Amino acid sequence: MVTDAEWARTRSGLCFGQDFEGTVVKVPRPGAIGIFVDIGLEVGGFVDVVMLPKHGDAWPAEGTVTAFEIWWADSRHQIRLKPSDPRYLRSDFPDFVRRFRPRWPSEVGRPIGEASPPSLGEGRPAVT
């Protein structure tokens, strides 16, 4: 667990859409929660169920090494990720972005600390 000061320092160097190679370290309930990813930082990465394919058998398995992008990082000391590989990303991602986070294209490349918190549905939208 990192301190608030360590988290603030780590977060200050991150940008939306920043690429990381990560290793899937835990898939606690395939198809239900999401996956935990080690991206080489002192804080963990997590891909929420809403970013992944509908069927858990299409999710990357523990030990899979693949690319991820930063989707969000807030006060929870955890980096929210989006799979870069379309095999591991929800099939309707462009529609999802238009509905729940339309500012995403303009946020890519911006430091996380400069962004305002996502509006309702943007950070952790309901499964549709």
Residue ranges of domains in the chain = 4-110
What does the pLDDT average to over 4-21? 92
Match domain 4-110 to its CATH number in 3.10.105.10, 3.10.129.10, 3.40.50.300, 2.40.50.140. 2.40.50.140
What does the pLDDT average to over 49-55? 94
pLDDT at 126 over 50: no
Considering the entire predicted model, what is its pTM? 0.85
What is the pLDDT at residue 31? 76
What does the pLDDT average to over 40-62? 94
Name the 3-class secondary structure at 56: helix
- The phi-psi region of residue 109 (left if phi > 0; otherwise alpha if psi is between -120 and 50; otherwise beta) is left
